[in-house]
Chains A and B, each alone.
Chain A
Amino acid sequence: MSKTANRSIARTSPKSFWIALFGLLTATGPVIAEEGFLETITRNQFLAPTTLDNGDGNPYAVLVAPVSVGDIEKDDVLVDNFNNISNLQGTGTTIIRYRPGTKETKQFAKVSQQLKECPGGVGLTTAMTMLKTGWIIVGSLPSKDGTTRTKGDGCLLVFDAKGNHVATWAGPNINGPWGNMATIDKGDKATLFISMAGFGVPSFDVIDPQTGYPVIVNKATVLRLELNIPNGKPPVIEKETVIASGFSQRADISNFLFGPTGLALAPDDTLYVTDGLDNEITAIEHASTRTDSAGKGRLITKDGLLAWPLAMLRTEAGHLIVANGKNGQFVEVDPKEGKQLYGYWANANQAQSPPGNGNLFGIAWGPDRKSIYFVADDINALWTATP
């Protein structure tokens, strides 16, 4: 669609996109100022189930392999699972590998749920990245009963490119590594940005009498890890810096917990953060160099089309794409203007209310950056949104 057409639509009506997973809904959107990425997306396509024989489900993280190494080929898609076969959140232990060329899906890695080095055990989260050297780092926010009543602090797990678990990182700065990571990868050095959503989150049944909801705490952080990667050896943490803090968190019986989730790093060293509970996106300046916490950072946008924003991507044009948790929409934001551009129904499954509620989480660029991989938690599957 041409820009001229867009402007015409922008003056007259919300933009429409056709959908979707189960049923046809119309996208909602405020006034459009210019063409964005989501305008190019027209359809959603099922790719593969993400469950394995061990019954793990509730896919969270999605990443596209940047290199071929070990058992991984460049552009393979890795997806991890947050639930085990009992459907308990915070107990998933597997990473699957989807190969687009062959459409083959198989288990890439598995780790013990009772892993002693990881406080509380293992429940793999949306915090997952793969370095050029082939190391895969993934977060764990574990539970015993599928709720925060038995939540552990968790850890970061390091796997080699053959799926072997080779290291575990835990410590006082690591508590509930949760959302998609932002990564600066220079080969022998790398910097990871990880949201930590677990600090101080009590059981879901600790209720704030004023709201009737679980109590809110404001202890979530964004942690920067600076890694050294010796030749042929697993990465080691050289430095830890909390660069943002004070994000809202609370337990939730359905969503396990709310907290900061999506991270996207811009070339100007601004790190954007989705804050699900406060329903906003903020910006942390000088993300790779700052030595202190920026607090929650500068507010970019709030509410509107955002509905519990989770994982986040940055387009080449500098826009942000977030996956809503409360409905099945992607939302595109121009952070420079602080404007929300489009909402696009990636998952309009009416089996949840509102449609798609709880179905989205991790998102990743397709290899050509013209499509977006996303998980559909309702049916445990990997999908792609394409032009």
Chain B
Amino acid sequence: MEQKNMNWMKTIGSAILGFGLITSVFASTGPEPFYGVHQSGISTPAQLNTYFIAFDVTTTKKEDLVKLLKDWSDAAVDMMAQPEQFDKNADPTKIPRKSGASVGLSNAALSITFGFGATLFEKDGVDRFGLAKKRPEALVNVPVFTGDQLVPERTGGDLSLQASANDPQVVEYVVRRLAKLANGVAVMKWAQPGFNGAFKAGETGRNQMGFKDGTLNIPTKDVKLMDKHIWVGNEGPSWMQGGSYMVIRPIRISLDHWDDMNLAFQEETVGRHKSSGAPIGKQKEMEELGLKRTDAKGKPVINEYSHSAISSPENNEGTQILRRAFAYDNGITKVNERWPPWRQLTTFDAGLLFMCYQKDPRTGFIKLFSKMAQIDMLNQFTTHTGSALFAVPHGATKGHYIGQDLFED
């Protein structure tokens, strides 16, 4: 990324909904490597589709858990390396190992990312797998934020996996194949598919609210910035060095309500112009916010409680996270709105599958969102319905499985 853009990113880089951040949805179809210092799906350019799923481990045997991670790693290697193919030597009397659902499709820049929740280390006071002492300090219990309306069915989990690719059928197939491998070891707890619009590469796309939105807020090729803000370093345990911490939160957006707001109010809420993406009162998307600007009456040009202002690093001591979010739409659902007039209605169950990575959630998302949860103007259109934090260990090397040094050190 050019220096010019990097400077700009530092200015506006921490928003939750990411309005105005530069987009990086790439229509790449090439294979992503499974092996490497970092797991795939973190610094990988965001694809068009994702499928996130969390599991609760049911086995009490460490060896079962290890075998699952080995199986998952092997299957991930297989699926990420090449397009799916039928087994020409399949025994017709046996259940096929592969369903064939993605045969004929490329693997569409597939990335697969695995994580460990705090409850894997200790659950209800029980150290099931001898991991309690290895729980990193940064793998905290995420606090309940103002306005959170979390439901257990979309919160927490012992294990996480996320498949992302530029094809919805590929990610669904991958998750189903990996979930099958967990039979008898773990049960599915919650899941959420997501998507991104296929906007032109290098052009800022728009979110469901009609505003320019993006997915990358730190240039992932900037090693220094990534090391500073995203990758766990020497401060963490060895199995996490090169890894990161993922916060994931499904955020339902009252899109129907939002669509009824006049344009000026929408822009005031976001702090940016809808068409251009420029900060209020400015012409170009890439211009700095200029939060100190005031009008003739001394009123801030950008509302001090707007999403852009409240989330800006200059109001948050420079906090930065790597945002890697997708939109979601689960059709319709019955909702009791959490603001006047307290409507009880059937509306779209749609919004943002917020995901972000950081070196330490205590100085990343938690710090950033504690304030935003209280007074961000967008909060009157958004409801956080789920929440989870996962330690995403470093990537595997050939012959090893994900998280191996957590279990074998």
Asked if B379 contacts A379 (CB within 8 A), the reply is yes
Quick check: is A85 within 8 A (CB to CB) of the other chain?
yes
Asked if A358 contacts B342 (CB within 8 A), the reply is yes
Given known pairs A254-B342, A351-B261, A358-B342, the reply for A378 and B380 (CB within 8 Å) is: yes
Quick check: is B217 within 8 A (CB to CB) of the other chain?
no
Query: How far does the Cβ of A254 sit from chain B's closest Cβ, in whole Å?
Result: 3
Asked if B375 contacts A86 (CB within 8 A), the reply is no
Q: How far is it, in angstroms, between the C-alpha of A262 and the C-alpha of B261 when the chains are bound?
A: 31
Quick check: is A87 within 8 A (CB to CB) of the other chain?
yes
Asked if A380 contacts B147 (CB within 8 A), the reply is yes
User: How many chain B residues touch A (Cβ–Cβ < 8 Å)?
Assistant: 31
Binds B, one of A16-24, A29-37, A332-340: A16-24
Query: How far does the Cβ of B32 sit from chain A's closest Cβ, in whole Å?
Result: 39
Per a CB cutoff under 8 Å, which of A53, A57, A379 touches B375? Answer: A379
If over half of A's interface residues share one DSSP class (helix, strand or loop), that class is named, otherwise mixed; here it is: loop
Quick check: is A381 within 8 A (CB to CB) of the other chain?
yes
Quick check: is B93 within 8 A (CB to CB) of the other chain?
no
Quick check: is B269 within 8 A (CB to CB) of the other chain?
yes
Q: How far is it, in angstroms, between the C-alpha of A256 and the C-alpha of B149 when the chains are bound?
A: 21
Which residues of chain B are within 8 angstroms of A85 by Cβ–Cβ distance? 149
Binds A, one of B167-175, B219-227, B331-339, B391-399: B331-339
**B306 closest partner in A (C-beta):** A22
Quick check: is A349 within 8 A (CB to CB) of the other chain?
yes
Quick check: is B88 within 8 A (CB to CB) of the other chain?
no
Per a CB cutoff under 8 Å, which of B342, B375, B381 touches A58? Answer: B342
Given known pairs A22-B303, A51-B147, A87-B336, the reply for A351 and B380 (CB within 8 Å) is: yes
Which residues of chain B are within 8 angstroms of A256 by Cβ–Cβ distance? 342
Asked if B340 contacts A377 (CB within 8 A), the reply is yes
Asked if A22 contacts B344 (CB within 8 A), the reply is no
Quick check: is B133 within 8 A (CB to CB) of the other chain?
no
Q: How far is it, in angstroms, between the C-alpha of A357 and the C-alpha of B340 when the chains are bound?
A: 7
Quick check: is A83 within 8 A (CB to CB) of the other chain?
yes
Asked if B381 contacts A351 (CB within 8 A), the reply is yes
Asked if B146 contacts A87 (CB within 8 A), the reply is no
Per a CB cutoff under 8 Å, which of A253, A350, A358, A359 touches B265? Answer: A350
- The digit string for B121-161, where 1 denotes a CB below 8 A from any CB of A, is 00000000000000000000000101111000000000000
Quick check: is A213 within 8 A (CB to CB) of the other chain?
no
- The digit string for A349-362, where 1 denotes a CB below 8 A from any CB of B, is 11110000111000
Asked if A351 contacts B339 (CB within 8 A), the reply is yes
Could you tell me which residues of chain B, from 269 to 297, have a CB within 8 Å of some CB in chain A? 269, 297
Asked if A146 contacts B344 (CB within 8 A), the reply is yes
Best-buried of B144, B336, B375 by chain A (most CB within 10 Å): B336
Q: How far is it, in angstroms, between the C-alpha of A222 and the C-alpha of B341 when the chains are bound?
A: 26
Q: How far is it, in angstroms, between the C-alpha of A46 and the C-alpha of B371 when the chains are bound?
A: 12
**A89 closest partner in B (C-beta):** B342
Q: How far is it, in angstroms, between the C-alpha of A87 and the C-alpha of B335 when the chains are bound?
A: 9
Q: How far is it, in angstroms, between the C-alpha of A46 and the C-alpha of B297 when the chains are bound?
A: 20
Which residues of chain B are within 8 angstroms of A23 by Cβ–Cβ distance? 265, 268, 303
Asked if B374 contacts A349 (CB within 8 A), the reply is no
Asked if B144 contacts A352 (CB within 8 A), the reply is no
Q: How far is it, in angstroms, between the C-alpha of A33 and the C-alpha of B137 when the chains are bound?
A: 65
Asked if A88 contacts B340 (CB within 8 A), the reply is no
Q: How far is it, in angstroms, between the C-alpha of A83 and the C-alpha of B305 when the chains are bound?
A: 25
Per a CB cutoff under 8 Å, which of B268, B299, B374 touches A22? Answer: B268
Query: How far does the Cβ of B144 sit from chain A's closest Cβ, in whole Å?
Result: 5
Quick check: is A200 within 8 A (CB to CB) of the other chain?
no
Asked if B375 contacts A352 (CB within 8 A), the reply is no
Could you tell me which residues of chain A, from 22 to 63, have a CB within 8 Å of some CB in chain B? 22-24, 46, 48-49, 51, 53, 55, 57-58
Which residues of chain B are within 8 angstroms of A18 by Cβ–Cβ distance? 297, 299
Which residues of chain A are within 8 angstroms of B147 by Cβ–Cβ distance? 49, 51, 57, 380
Quick check: is B257 within 8 A (CB to CB) of the other chain?
yes
Per a CB cutoff under 8 Å, which of A89, A147, A379 touches B339? Answer: A379
Best-buried of A83, A253, A359, A379 by chain B (most CB within 10 Å): A379
- The digit string for B322-360, where 1 denotes a CB below 8 A from any CB of A, is 000000000000001111111110000000000000000
Which residues of chain A are within 8 angstroms of B299 by Cβ–Cβ distance? 18, 24
Given known pairs A18-B297, A53-B144, A146-B344, the reply for A377 and B339 (CB within 8 Å) is: yes
Quick check: is B377 within 8 A (CB to CB) of the other chain?
yes
Asked if A357 contacts B341 (CB within 8 A), the reply is yes
Best-buried of B261, B299, B342, B374 by chain A (most CB within 10 Å): B342
Best-buried of B146, B265, B374 by chain A (most CB within 10 Å): B146
Q: List 7 A-B contacts (CB under 8 A).
A: A49-B146, A57-B338, A146-B336, A253-B341, A253-B344, A359-B340, A381-B375
Which are the 3 A-B pairs with shortest beta-carbon distances? A358-B340, A254-B341, A87-B336
Chain B contacts to A: CB under 8 angstroms: 144, 146-149, 257, 261-262, 265, 268-269, 297, 299, 303, 305, 336-344, 373-375, 377, 379-381
With contacts A254-B343, A351-B265, A352-B341 known, what are 10 further pairs, Cβ within 8 A? A22-B265, A22-B268, A24-B299, A49-B373, A55-B144, A87-B337, A358-B340, A358-B341, A358-B342, A379-B339
